[in-house]
Structure 1
């Protein structure tokens, strides 16, 4: 059986980390770092710098220690990304084209079609470039999920200890669940209120007439506590009794009718109620620590070179 050092490329078992580049190849594009022999070019760095909206900050701090620190911190982030992509490929992770397409559609679909091209232009990307970046992010996500996140666990005892030592975090203020109908005119709201008092369904009328986006849900605003809504809306919501309909309430958004669905008094969540949230918090903390350690290990076994002289000249 061959030894590990005979199977793996040499750069995976190297531990050297140099701050100065070797003699430059005149045919090679200028690079600010090389990660296991793979260049992060000056052009890639400047594009990433632009995409992070840091150009203005660097201009304000030009030729200062703050500027150098910002640029070096950004370079280290790029090095981390390159290390993770390389490790994903070493594990033979791949992302299917249809998965990339779905993610591209999910991200770009959050914006009106007429804004998408402008957003890409501001990022100095075309759709192919955005797709390549998306593929890298999905590769990294798959790597971290399998090698880091999915390996974390939280015990029942840890959940209980977290709950007992942070009980105050699970105190919930009084909350109300309210439906609303929003109209353009006071006359419309008054007419709808009379229909409800005569027995019409608040939910049905909200679906038919409300201007608010929650209208399609029967006007359901869900639960909220004090301080979460505009004062006029909050006052009407918390002064109502169950099932009753408010008077017409005017606001900058139009004219409102409210119906109280449910009221929750202030209380402390039980351990069972808080368990899922506590597990999520603990797993996030643990995964963050594990990701930091994972990256540190990748760095220790990798060959990373930096051209800090070139980096300092970038403005």
Structure 2
């Protein structure tokens, strides 16, 4: 993170971040994993934490952010501050700084969220919360700063939305990275999935001395797998796509043959190897969608990084790493 640090005058031009005092780092490290009141070091660390609690760790124009704001950011991203090393916390803090600078830029440009955008965001959160919650659990409040992060996402989209990838770029990437598009041996697989071993054995007997049409009919009739409506066809797979125990059975089959009964957590399977595809190189047109995604992702990243660099040169911002609750580590250290 390129930023201003410490208590020096830091208007406009970024400067290197100052390291936190070694004694402070030692005291905070001593407090990790302990409860307050378990010894002198722990009590001193608690006092240090309390002293830092209200001190700013970041200033962007007229806004100030403290450790509590960064902790809320960590919580919203699912990160565990207590379980992360200082290097990981430092990189997350870099992202926190970037987000707050983008937030300030969005506000300066008069970009706002519509009521519909806010409602849609809350609705998505509610659906996710319901899916992740256990029966009987109480409702949880939306994460702190949810609309600020949504505004940053909107602003970021506006910055990168004109990014394009042309055919010449796709062709050049394909020629330079053909190895990425070499396909391993692949197989088309079908299955019949039933609940009990007894049922599976019965189905297996019905399949003896029969061909593909009979397998399709029985799969449609008997299988409870999600692909039963497709007459048992699961799709095309390469090594590593399926659980190891299943792959061991499937890839050992000859084309057009069915397996013995295979038990898994889902039930009892009978697999059919429909077709084998030898290793092959994807054509440019086959690889184009993946190539476009790769190039687009990199170009958008570059556009945003350049834009963010310009904001850091023009906005007034200051990192006060000595006030952080952990020992900040610069990226180049």
Closer/same/farther in 2, CA of residues 55 and 203 from structure 1, 3 Å limit: farther
Q: Name whichever structure is richer in helix by fraction.
A: 1
Q: CA deviation at 1:163?
A: 0.9
* CA distance in 2 between partners of 1:54 and 1:115 (Å): 28
Which residue of 2 is the match for residue 47 of structure 1? Answer: 72
Contact 2:81 2:89 (C-alpha < 8 Å) held by counterparts: no
Deviations 1:72-126 (A, max 9, x none): 4433321211122222332423142332133214533542443976xx9xxxxx4
Return 5+ residue gaps in structure 1 as ranges. 1-13, 21-27, 59-66, 121-125
Deviations 1:262-285 (A, max 9, x none): 433221111111111111111111
Which residue of 2 is the match for residue 93 of structure 1? Answer: 112
Q: Does 1:80 align with 2:90?
A: no
Which residue of 1 is the match for residue 148 of structure 2? Answer: 136
Deviations 1:245-298 (A, max 9, x none): x14233343431113344332211111111111111111111111111111111
* Matched residue count: 274
Closer/same/farther in 2, CA of residues 260 and 295 from structure 1, 3 Å limit: same
* CA distance in 1 between partners of 2:196 and 2:285 (Å): 46
Deviations 1:28-57 (A, max 9, x none): 953211111111122212333454223233
Closer/same/farther in 2, CA of residues 166 and 102 from structure 1, 3 Å limit: same
Contact 1:232 1:251 (C-alpha < 8 Å) held by counterparts: no
SS at match of 1:272: helix
Contact 1:33 1:305 (C-alpha < 8 Å) held by counterparts: yes
Which residue of 2 is the match for residue 180 of structure 1? Answer: 191
- TM-score normalised according to structure 1 size: 0.72
CA-based RMSD of the aligned residues comes to 3.4
Contact 2:193 2:269 (C-alpha < 8 Å) held by counterparts: yes
Which residue of 1 is the match for residue 31 of structure 2? Answer: none
Which residue of 1 is the match for residue 35 of structure 2? Answer: none
Return 5+ residue gaps in structure 2 as ranges. 1-10, 19-52, 329-333
* CA distance in 2 between partners of 1:84 and 1:115 (Å): 39
* CA distance in 1 between partners of 2:294 and 2:326 (Å): 42
Q: Does 1:249 align with 2:246?
A: no
Q: CA deviation at 1:138?
A: 2.8
Q: Does 1:32 align with 2:57?
A: yes
Deviations 1:204-223 (A, max 9, x none): 65566545555566544321
Contact 2:60 2:318 (C-alpha < 8 Å) held by counterparts: yes
- TM-score normalised according to structure 2 size: 0.69
Closer/same/farther in 2, CA of residues 70 and 113 from structure 1, 3 Å limit: closer
Closer/same/farther in 2, CA of residues 214 and 289 from structure 1, 3 Å limit: same
Contact 1:175 1:225 (C-alpha < 8 Å) held by counterparts: yes
